[in-house]
């Protein structure tokens, strides 16, 4: 049988199966099992006679979808939690990828601005960080331990306090989006300038490498998570300022839900960053440089991949299924 004839013969059945899979209503397990067997038979035939065709890819896609429905775990809460991080957030990050890149570029700009300002104005660092913090850091540098500030306090207390403060900053960046994003912009600007001026301060006093080894152990996840929080605030602001074809209220409702999902996804990263800062950063000067680099590059690579690369993979996989469906429907 020619492939076109095979498609015409089964097209209506496949599209009906596809609609059934897309339905949010729960289905009878026996019907699902029967559907699975039908599709497996068609897939087996297609793999035998048209192994490299789009028809085989399409049937394989349908079979994999129904397999997930049949054998999904009974723990609904676990499923939702996994789906949230595996699918929901990545698709939202793909949808708002331009906003995320804008927040990332803006934060980088203010970081550079902070470093340049510190270079040409001796009082700038004190203006940003305060005399007390600067004087304490200078004393630590003179003692030969520039990262001593991270050794103060108990490990667990530091972990909890740092995590809570970072989550608080992120939530403010998110919720302030309702005020046209202006306070969110200020949070991004102040944090970016602070990071840039702080790093230049260490560079100026000859302990730049030590600062990188210490600060960015936890900073890789912490700073990137704050950038994501800033992006969520801008998403919320855009839903208020630019409702498009929606009413302003409906646009805000959608924008709030989407940005809330994104900000909630940062909490595990803030917890991880707080743990590193509370328990590991204080050991930064004692551990081998290779260990420092593995933790820093590993943390940054992981969070960068999740928010900037993985969304494209999820979206592409979803689009492949849609493209295959369109291909089948186009056969007359």
160 and 17 in one domain? no
pLDDT, position 54:
85
The string of pLDDT tens digits covering residues 116-160 is 999 999 899 999 999 999 999 999 999 888 888 888 778 898 899
The string of pLDDT tens digits covering residues 40-76 is 888 888 888 888 888 888 888 888 877 766 665 444 4
Is 292 inside a domain boundary?
yes
pLDDT, position 89:
94
165-168: which pairs have CB atoms within 8 A and are 24 or more residues apart?
166/222, 166/225, 166/226, 166/270, 166/273, 166/274, 167/267, 167/270
Is 162 inside a domain boundary?
yes
Q: Report how many domains make up the chain.
A: 2
9 and 88 in one domain? no
pLDDT of 323 higher than 70? no
63 and 22 in one domain? yes
245 and 102 in one domain? yes
pLDDT, position 64:
81
Is 325 inside a domain boundary?
no
pLDDT, position 27:
59
**Full residue range of the structural domain in which residue 185 is found:** 82-316
Of 236, 250, 102, which Cα lies nearest the Cα of 180? 236
pTM over 0.95: no
pLDDT of 87 higher than 80? yes
pLDDT, position 239:
94
Query: Can you tell me the distance from the alpha carbon of 128 to that of 302, in angstroms, rounded to the nearest whole number?
Result: 30
115 and 64 in one domain? no
């Amino acid at each position: 049988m020619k492939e076109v004839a095979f498609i015409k013969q089964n097209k209506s059945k496949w599209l009906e199966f596809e609609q059934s899979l897309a339905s949010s209503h729960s289905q009878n397990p026996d019907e699902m099992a029967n559907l699975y067997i039908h599709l497996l038979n068609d897939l087996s035939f297609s793999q035998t006679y048209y192994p490299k065709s789009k028809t085989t890819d399409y049937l394989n896609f349908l079979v994999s979808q129904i397999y997930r429905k049949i054998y999904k775990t009974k723990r609904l809460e676990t499923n939702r939690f996994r789906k949230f991080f595996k699918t929901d957030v990545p698709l939202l990050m793909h949808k708002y990828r331009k906003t995320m890149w804008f927040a990332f570029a803006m934060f980088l700009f203010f970081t550079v601005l902070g470093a340049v300002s510190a270079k040409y104005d001796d009082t700038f660092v004190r203006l940003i960080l305060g005399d007390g913090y600067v004087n304490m850091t200078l004393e630590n540098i003179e003692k030969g331990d520039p990262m001593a500030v991270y050794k103060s306090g108990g490990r667990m207390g530091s972990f909890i306090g740092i995590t809570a403060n970072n989550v608080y900053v992120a939530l403010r960046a998110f919720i302030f989006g309702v005020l046209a994003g202006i306070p969110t912009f200020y949070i991004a600007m102040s944090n970016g300038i602070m990071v840039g001026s702080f790093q230049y301060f260490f560079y100026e006093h000859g302990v730049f490498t030590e600062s990188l080894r210490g600060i960015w152990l936890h900073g890789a996840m912490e700073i990137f998570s704050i950038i994501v929080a800033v992006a969520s605030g801008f998403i919320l602001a855009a839903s208020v300022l630019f409702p498009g074809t929606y009413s302003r209220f409906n646009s805000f409702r959608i924008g709030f839900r989407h940005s809330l999902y994104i900000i909630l996804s940062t909490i595990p990263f803030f917890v991880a960053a707080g743990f590193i800062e509370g328990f590991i950063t204080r050991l930064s000067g004692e551990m081998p440089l290779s260990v420092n680099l593995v933790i820093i590059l590993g943390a940054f690579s992981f969070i960068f991949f999740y928010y900037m690369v993985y969304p494209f993979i999820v979206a592409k996989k979803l689009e492949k299924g849609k493209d295959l469906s369109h291909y089948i429907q186009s056969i007359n």
